[in-house]
Amino acid sequence: MFFFVPREGLEPSWSLLRTSLSRVRLPVPPSRLIYICSKLYVIYLSLSKNYKIVRYLKLLYNVIRLIVLYMGKIISIVNQKGGVGKTTTSVNLSVYLAELGKRVLLVDLDPQANATSGLGFEHRNLEFGIYQSLVDGKSIHEIIKRTVQDGLKIAPATLDLAGAGVELVSLPDREFRLSRSLEEVREDFDYIIIDGPPSLGLLTVNSLSASDEVIIPIQSEYYALEGLSQLLETISLVQGNLKPNLNIMGAVITMFDRRNKLSEAVMNELYQYFPNRIFRSIIPRTVRLAEAPSYGRSILHYDPKSKGAKAYKSLAKEIINIEKEK
C-alpha cells in the first residue's frame, strides 16, 4: 500500500473545467482568471441563497468529473540528474502496466533516445519522432509505434530531438506543445508515461505541464540528493504558473543495495524531502536490469523471474492501487 497526503493547490473544480474545455477543443481562459471568477461566483451564490442553482452546479461538476476520470493519466518520470534509473523506470513501469491489462503510451522525451532503443527501435533509422510533433506540429497519431508488448505503444525519440530545446524557445505556447499533442490521444490510453530528459530545460517544462502526476526516481547513493531541491523548485514553479493541479505522486528508490549502509542512510534522508510519498516498491541494483536495454528488451522480456522484474511489477501494481483508492 502507498501512503500519500491529499493534493494541495487550488480548488479542483476549475482545473477540471480547464481540462474539459481543452478536451472538447474550446478556448481555455487563463488559470488565474478562472480561479478569481469561480471564487466570485461562489460568493454570489452564498449571498443569493439560490439552492436550486447550487444543486445544478454540483450535478454539472459531477458530470465533468466523470468525463475526466475516463481520460488517461499522464505521469512524468523526472530527474535532472543522469544515471538514476529514470529511463529504466519509464520503460519497465510502462511494460508492466501494459502487462497488467492497461493501455499505455510511453513518450520518449529524452534526446538520448534510450527508452526508444530500450524497446528495440533503432532511433537513427526512424523517419518521425516526438520532435516532429513538438516543433513541426505533426499529429502524434502519425509517429506512435507498436511494441512487442501487447497494450504498449511508444512515441519514439529521434536524433532531431537534441535541438528541440533551442527551437522551442521561439515557438508560440512553447511550454504547452507536448500537452496539446497528447490531448489528441489521451482518451486512447489508461496511462501515458513520459521519460523526461536529464535537464531542467524546456523539454522538462513541457513534460511537467502536460502531466497530472510526477514520479521522481532517486538513486540510493551519496550524491543522489544533489540538485533535488532545484528539481522540486522547478515543479513548484510549474504548479504556480502553468499547471496548478500537477501533483508529486512520489519518489522511487532505485539501484538499492541492502548490503550497503549508505543506501539505508539515503533512504532515511529521502523521507525529509518526501514525507509519506515514498513508494514501498524499491528497485534493487541488479546486473539483469543493466543488461536488458542492450538487447532492446524490457526486464519482463529479458528475465521475468529476476528481482528487478518483480520490483517493477510491484511498482506498477502500487500505482494502479493508488488510482483505485482515489
293: domain CATH number? 3.40.50.300
| pLDDT per 10-residue tile (average), the chain, 326 residues | 35 47 48 59 61 62 53 88 90 96 95 92 88 90 93 93 85 89 90 91 92 90 75 89 90 84 74 79 92 93 94 95 76
Would residue 5 count as lying in a domain? Answer: no
How many Cβ atoms sit within 10 Å of the Cβ of residue 294?
Answer: 10
Would residue 6 count as lying in a domain? Answer: no
Tally the domains of the chain.
2
pLDDT at 12: 39
pLDDT at 278: 86
Same domain, 295 and 314: yes
Burial of 116 (0-12, 13-18, 19+ CB in 10 A): buried
pLDDT at 271: 76
Same domain, 136 and 77: yes
Of 50, 68, 86, which residue is a domain's last? 68
Q: Is the dihedral of CA 28, 30, 31, 32 positive or negative?
A: negative
Would residue 2 count as lying in a domain? Answer: no
Nearest CA-CA partner of 260 in 284, 229, 279: 284
Same domain, 292 and 158: yes
Would residue 3 count as lying in a domain? Answer: no
- What own/partner pairs with CB < 8 Å and gap ≥ 24 does 183-186 have? 183/22, 183/23, 184/139, 184/140, 184/141, 185/72, 185/105, 185/140, 185/141, 185/144, 186/23, 186/71, 186/72, 186/74
Same domain, 60 and 82: no
Q: Which domain holds residue 62?
A: 12-68
Would residue 59 count as lying in a domain? Answer: yes
0.75 cut: is pTM over it? yes
pLDDT at 205: 92
pLDDT at 173: 84
pLDDT at 160: 87
pLDDT at 201: 86
Same domain, 153 and 37: no
pLDDT at 298: 94
